[in-house]
Amino acid sequence: MQKPLLSNTDMKDFNYYAPTEVVFGEQAEEQVAALVKKYGGTKVLVHYGGQSAKRSGLLDKICDLLREGGVTYVTLGGVVPNPRLSLAQKGIELCRQEGIDFILAVGGGSVIDSAKCIAYGVPYEGNVWDFYLGKAEPKQMLPVASVLTIPAAGSEMSESSVITNEDGDVKLGYSNNLSRPKFAIMNPRRTMTLPPYQTAAGVTDMMMHTMERYFTKDDDMDFTTDLAEASLRNIKNAVFAVLKNPEDYRYRAQIMWGGSLMHNGLTGCGVSDDWATHQLEHELSGMFDVTHGAGLAAIWPSWARYVMHENLSRFVRFAVNVMDVPNDFTDPEGTALKGIEAMERFYHAIGMPINIKELIGKDISDEEIKEMTRKCSRDYTATCGCLKVLKAEDMETIYKMARG
């Protein structure tokens, strides 16, 4: 929208909408049947991933609670990281056969994303992939909710889902406020069994969800920036406590709640978002099947060095306010660079890589970089990023800077 000339700012207008009811605590699961009924569910698809939900007893517990609460259900497991369209399509068929009217995801971001895809598809006559391709807009969908077990993706409150179509190996995201989950049950105790690497990668991912919104040219929405910095500082400190003691409830709780707030829109109000690091990483995890959070850590320092002059003061602010770098007022560039270096030390301290060689354990070839560049630029037709709009040659340069 155009601003009247009398404004003293070109602050971006925004919408904020995060309707998910969060039920947070050690006995949060106990409320699952009541919550499903509150949001209109009578027959539920309980959607989950692999063995861990079964082994931990959580899946059985949720099913028992639903049954005791008078809610009927069917189950569908098998969601994998980078959730597949084929399973979602199987879920859509199952829901139609069984007359399902509510989808409950028990798991992390992949399970929730798969649940959203199923929920879009059930009332739609065409192929649900149409939505991800941008060929159609859903008018309605089944309600979705989750019992969260892995804090990272933020899908439990967000409007987005990412699905991989194995037919052509295309990974696409689709965002629509319709898909904001009705409720999210969060029990930090359920995250205590996450291995250190997955914990650290999750924290890296959630921090990046806010960093993608923090590194912007929109300096006017201080409230958002202040909340972003407080969130980043909190999580950055909390991760050390849980790596030292995986059963530290207090800091598992910070990370779990932080993962939701750092991707539900709160840290993006009134600022443009970037997402170049995410897009550059997509190709990396596509080619080498690495953990998404680790891939982000391998890309971000190189992206940051490449784009920092687009808004140097923001990188100085990050260095000082988030990374505790002393501000050398005579040398903004030096301070900004020290902030990026401090982030690299942080990544190393939590077991994350800072370049592609550390990520994949070998040198990446020029051909592989060219192939990732081609894919990321959609055959040299598309750009990515916003702070600096990256063309194919910029992407290639960043990949080369990141090779390590």
The dihedral sign for the CA sequence 209, 290, 53, 172? positive
Q: Would you say 203 or 276 has its CB closer to a copy of itself?
A: 203
- Rounded to a whole number of angstroms, the minimum distance from the CB of residue 352 to a copy of itself is 21
Q: How far apart are CA 317 and CA 72, in angstroms?
A: 52
For the segment 19-78, give every residue that binds a copy of itself (CB under 8 A). 19, 21-28
Neighbours of 109 (CB within 10 A): 28
Q: Does 381 bind a copy of itself (CB under 8 A)?
A: no
Structure tokens at 297: 């850590």
Pick the closest to residue 156 from 145, 164, 143 (CA basis): 145
- Rounded to a whole number of angstroms, the minimum distance from the CB of residue 298 to a copy of itself is 27
Q: How far apart are CA 46 and CA 215, in angstroms?
A: 38
Buried b / exposed e over 268-281, threshold 16 CB at 10 Å, is: bbbbebbbbbbbbb
- Rounded to a whole number of angstroms, the minimum distance from the CB of residue 367 to a copy of itself is 45
Binding test (CB under 8 A) with a copy of itself, winner from 83, 108, 270, 339: 270
Binding test (CB under 8 A) with a copy of itself, winner from 98, 130, 220, 341: 220
Return the range that interacts with a copy of itself (CB under 8 A); candidates 161-169, 222-230, 327-335, 361-369: 222-230
Binding test (CB under 8 A) with a copy of itself, winner from 269, 287, 342, 401: 269
Binding test (CB under 8 A) with a copy of itself, winner from 43, 171, 233, 374: 233
- Rounded to a whole number of angstroms, the minimum distance from the CB of residue 233 to a copy of itself is 7
- Rounded to a whole number of angstroms, the minimum distance from the CB of residue 23 to a copy of itself is 6
Q: Would you say 73 or 346 has its CB closer to a copy of itself?
A: 346
- Rounded to a whole number of angstroms, the minimum distance from the CB of residue 385 to a copy of itself is 24
Structure tokens at 164: 């991989």
- Whole-number Cα distances in Å, 109 to 60, 64, 67, 106, 294: 20, 23, 25, 10, 16
The dihedral sign for the CA sequence 248, 253, 254, 259? positive
Q: Does 80 bind a copy of itself (CB under 8 A)?
A: no
Binding test (CB under 8 A) with a copy of itself, winner from 5, 6, 68, 379: 6
- Burial of residue 356 (number of CB atoms within 10 Å: 0-12, 13-18, 19+): buried
Q: How far apart are CA 354 and CA 346, in angstroms?
A: 10
Q: Which amino acid is at 323?
A: M
Return the range that interacts with a copy of itself (CB under 8 A); candidates 12-20, 199-207, 333-341, 364-372: 12-20
Beta partners for 148? 107, 186
Structure tokens at 238: 């909390």
How far, rounded to the nearest angstrom, does the alpha carbon of residue 350 sit from its chain's CA centroid? 19
Size of the residue set binding a copy of itself (CB under 8 A) = 49
For the segment 112-131, give every residue that binds a copy of itself (CB under 8 A). none
Pick the closest to residue 20 from 164, 204, 177, 173 (CA basis): 177
Q: Are 301 and 402 in contact (CB under 8 A)?
A: yes
Q: Does 8 bind a copy of itself (CB under 8 A)?
A: yes
Return the range that interacts with a copy of itself (CB under 8 A); candidates 230-238, 273-281, 348-356, 374-382: 230-238
Q: Would you say 15 or 330 has its CB closer to a copy of itself?
A: 15
Q: Does 238 bind a copy of itself (CB under 8 A)?
A: yes
Binding test (CB under 8 A) with a copy of itself, winner from 17, 97, 362, 367: 17
Q: Are 323 and 342 in contact (CB under 8 A)?
A: yes
- Rounded to a whole number of angstroms, the minimum distance from the CB of residue 115 to a copy of itself is 20
- Rounded to a whole number of angstroms, the minimum distance from the CB of residue 250 to a copy of itself is 4
Neighbours of 390 (CB within 10 A): 25
Site string for a copy of itself, 244-263 (x = CB under 8 A): -x-xxxx--xx--xx--x--
Beta partners for 175? 160
Contacts with a copy of itself by CB under 8 A lie at: 1, 3-4, 6-9, 11-19, 21-28, 220-223, 226-227, 229-231, 233-234, 238, 245, 247-250, 253-254, 257-258, 261, 266, 269-270
